[in-house]
A and B are shown apart, each in its own frame.
Chain A
């Protein structure tokens, strides 16, 4: 494998609020390699979308960002707005959840493409721009006869294909897709997922797929990173993580999926914590069925387990666990009142 196209080191994002700051992303580290798809999963509010946006420098005002986001050695966190703009598009492109609201209703599809190309590759001739656009659209199954139409003339699935084509027309090396199929029906979702998986095969594009749907991760991702309360608690090749999840949260999340093979219903007690005041130590300990004495007092450190990395005291390192730390933790009973 070649080197990473994106390296994230100890990334932190927090939002100012009238009270304590919300630590939406808290010390996240990962790499993304050309041609691979990394799935970022977690419940709503775990910080996965904030993480995705911070990679594009698209955080709202009032958010602060620290750590390193490295594309080719340039740290996005330190870049000025103008420099950021030159990265967005040609280097990193983003696909959002709601294709209905991301296209300008007053612009034709052609206008959208020309605007994008003019902004980022102004030296192209108009004919060349048209050729590139039709190529990208054709790859997504949008016929050239519809180039001059307006967004409202397309269905939801087609609009999402147009969004993907718009992202790809600049031939980015990295695509960040934030819940790209959540608003779509299951058949159209399957169509879009197969388009995305062809992308990495044919163009060596690296894809960060943010989703709450573990089924999608299992089918479409090479690697998976599981986020909980602003931290990545487990990561590894998705086949291995699904076969033998190491973190109790991953295990519980997998058990709570309702799939065609579900025989009994399971759910995780309690709710994800308030990120203004996350629980001390391991953030999952109040909901964890395997919590130990050490869990509320010390934050777990990343440990290599098999092919993956996990942050959970169950996997050590033993040398760091104080004496008596592995005794089971007495749980306060969680009620519906605390549920998500």
Chain B
């Protein structure tokens, strides 16, 4: 089931052209902070994303929760305001567009949400719910026309006999049927772009395939263009022409589906692929899983945002003070209580490391010498001397306050083009490798 994506790929201008898009959410901060005009910072949900979507294409947007994929979709629909960059839909700029014009735009771009149990109003029968967009946009208000349009949509999504479903309520439907109804509501205005946000992840295995098949059929019938948002690389492989892998507000890898799966360029993509449980009993639970979890988007890691978890990170990936704290705390999980207490006593307030810095001090506690803190640092290093963290350390020495650690300069990964796949990773960047050689 491979579609002829290459044919349509080049000629026509893209339906959707997103450039350096940013969607940040300001934090409220404390009352006093607001009075004093202090900036509480912002959640950088989408932070510099660029991609183009061609008519008839299926683009997969894949990432863990917190990667910003849903915010990106909502921004494209104009449900959330972009804080920077540009979104051109069929040549028209959406960023900064008035609410009135956005409403017109939404007739052409619709969304199917993840949870079919929550996206349908329990008090509306399907005729009302699916016909609602027609009323809102003033397309069909007369009862007979509305009924005909809804019946037609129900038939297209396979909810037949139509008479049986027109007046049924969401509570009468199974999960798969509800999702079909939600899809009917999304296509009834005849949109060009359909964004599907995890459309099958709440459904049982046994019906997922049917919903995906339905979406592929509808795509051909209505000439739809899809943005398929998911955390599931297995369904994305099946469904998408191209895949964009998102991590903490950025697209770290973007390319044709086959290339992403056969030859992942970014270590993050590679570990995602390895971690998917396969129904193959000869495989066992993968052991080489990246440590930790997706970090806070308020203060993303310096350099490459994946570096704290990356098994292949090196000198210039952005090692910094917070990584030192994490590493030390991880060591402490392995020590006996007495050994831990002994080390903890020597070290001062670890919060000193929370402000991202390339030059930091691991403080010695009051009444302890910098050399005491140094011996803890040395113990840490001898624990796992091969940990990529230590490649990032440029210089260590004592300082009146404790152990001063200076890290190599962090380099922000840039978009690199590798045989048609776009990737943000220093492993493929000659300049970064060169800088690492100089640092190492």
**Interchain CB contact under 8 A, A43 and B205:** yes
Query: Which residues of A212-267 are within 8 A (CB) of B?
Result: 212-220, 238-239, 242-243, 252-254, 256-262, 264-267
Name which residue of chain A comes closest to B341, CB basis. Answer: A144
Name which residue of chain B comes closest to A135, CB basis. Answer: B337
Pick from B164, B205, B207, B293: contact of A157, CB under 8 Å: B293
**Interchain CB contact under 8 A, B278 and A259:** yes
Name which residue of chain A comes closest to B161, CB basis. Answer: A337
Pick from A43, A155, A260, A262: contact of B204, CB under 8 Å: A43
**Interchain CB contact under 8 A, A340 and B204:** yes
CA distance A143 to B340 in the complex (A): 10
CA distance A264 to B213 in the complex (A): 10
Pick from B205, B209, B275: contact of A186, CB under 8 Å: B275
Q: Which residues of B sit under 8 angstroms from A43, Cβ to Cβ?
A: 204-206
Q: Which residues of B sit under 8 angstroms from A194, Cβ to Cβ?
A: 285-287, 289
CA distance A340 to B174 in the complex (A): 5
Q: Does A335 contact B (CB under 8 A)?
A: yes
The total of interchain contacts (Cβ-Cβ below 8 angstroms) comes to: 184
Q: Taking the nearest CB of chain B, how far is it from the CB of A5, in angstroms?
A: 22
**Interface 0/1 of A283-320, CB less than 8 Å to B:** 00000000000000000000000000000000000000
Interface residues of A, count at CB 8 A: 63
**Interchain CB contact under 8 A, B234 and A262:** yes
Given contacts A260-B233, A260-B234, contact A215 B277 (CB under 8 A): yes
Given contacts A131-B337, A340-B204, contact A215 B278 (CB under 8 A): yes
Name which residue of chain A comes closest to B283, CB basis. Answer: A219
**Interchain CB contact under 8 A, A134 and B337:** yes
Q: Taking the nearest CB of chain A, how far is it from the CB of B257, in angstroms?
A: 11
**Interchain CB contact under 8 A, A256 and B283:** no
**Interchain CB contact under 8 A, A336 and B177:** yes
Q: Does B65 contact A (CB under 8 A)?
A: yes
**Interchain CB contact under 8 A, B285 and A219:** yes
Question: Which residue of B209, B234, B285 has the most chain A CB atoms within 10 A of its CB atom?
Answer: B285
Query: Which residues of A134-159 are within 8 A (CB) of B?
Result: 134-135, 137-139, 141-146, 155-158
Q: Which residues of B sit under 8 angstroms from A188, Cβ to Cβ?
A: 293
Pick from A156, A197, A218: contact of B280, CB under 8 Å: A218
**Interchain CB contact under 8 A, B174 and A339:** yes
Q: Does B382 contact A (CB under 8 A)?
A: no
**Interchain CB contact under 8 A, B277 and A219:** yes
Q: Taking the nearest CB of chain A, how far is it from the CB of B264, in angstroms?
A: 12
Name which residue of chain A comes closest to B309, CB basis. Answer: A187
Question: Which residue of B1, B238, B290 has the most chain A CB atoms within 10 A of its CB atom?
Answer: B238
Q: Does A104 contact B (CB under 8 A)?
A: no
**Interchain CB contact under 8 A, A143 and B329:** yes
Query: Which residues of A186-200 are within 8 A (CB) of B?
Result: 186-191, 193-194, 197
Q: Does B144 contact A (CB under 8 A)?
A: no
CA distance A110 to B267 in the complex (A): 37
Pick from A143, A189, A340: contact of B332, CB under 8 Å: A143
Q: Which residues of B sit under 8 angstroms from A261, Cβ to Cβ?
A: 278
Q: Which residues of B sit under 8 angstroms from A339, Cβ to Cβ?
A: 174, 176-177, 207, 210
Query: Which residues of A82-131 are within 8 A (CB) of B?
Result: 130-131
**Interchain CB contact under 8 A, A218 and B333:** no
CA distance A265 to B206 in the complex (A): 10
Q: Which residues of B sit under 8 angstroms from A219, Cβ to Cβ?
A: 277-278, 280-281, 283-286
Name which residue of chain B comes closest to A185, CB basis. Answer: B64
**Interchain CB contact under 8 A, A243 and B276:** no
CA distance A256 to B290 in the complex (A): 29
Name which residue of chain A comes closest to B213, CB basis. Answer: A265
Question: Which residue of A156, A158, A220, A339 has the most chain B CB atoms within 10 A of its CB atom?
Answer: A339
Q: Which residues of B sit under 8 angstroms from A337, Cβ to Cβ?
A: 159-161, 164-165
Q: Does B410 contact A (CB under 8 A)?
A: no
Q: Which residues of A contact B (CB under 8 A)?
A: 43-44, 130-131, 134-135, 137-139, 141-146, 155-158, 185-191, 193-194, 197, 212-220, 238-239, 242-243, 252-254, 256-262, 264-268, 271, 335-337, 339-340
Closest 9 CB pairs of A and B: A215-B277, A143-B329, A265-B209, A185-B64, A239-B281, A267-B209, A268-B206, A138-B333, A190-B275
Q: Which residues of B contact A (CB under 8 A)?
A: 1, 64-65, 158-161, 164-165, 174-177, 180, 203-210, 212-213, 231-235, 237-238, 261, 271-273, 275-287, 289-291, 293-294, 329-330, 332-335, 337, 340, 344, 350
